[in-house]
Amino acid sequence: VRYVPPPALGQGPVDGRDAVLTFWRQIGVRFTQNTITNLSLEEAAPARFVRTARLTHRTEDDTLTYVIRQVTVLQGGRVISQVNEQIG
């Protein structure tokens, strides 16, 4: 899997399922609360979907909120690519 995290998280592309899981575990340590709110589903097909979502990450002292456009590509029912573009 190839994963491009939201730019607000300051990370370049991540390759491999284990690396993606490690990335999100680190986000869980860095922030005490993480929320994803789906805003829209722009496109849905068997091999691809595009959604807009608001992500919020909180620590005791700070909140980081941003909106992304996420493009997910599937092959055989498994994610092979997910790219997040920050749009707000």
Mean pLDDT value of segment 2-18: 92
Structure confidence at residue 16 (pLDDT): 95
Cβ density class 22-38: b for 16+ within 10 Å, e for less: eeeeeeeeebeeeeeee
What is the band of 88 on the pLDDT scale with cuts at 50, 70, 90? confident
Longest distance between any two alpha carbons in the chain, whole Å: 43
What does pTM read for this prediction? 0.86
What pLDDT, in 10s, does the model give residues 38-87? 999 998 999 999 999 999 999 999 999 999 999 999 999 999 999 999 99
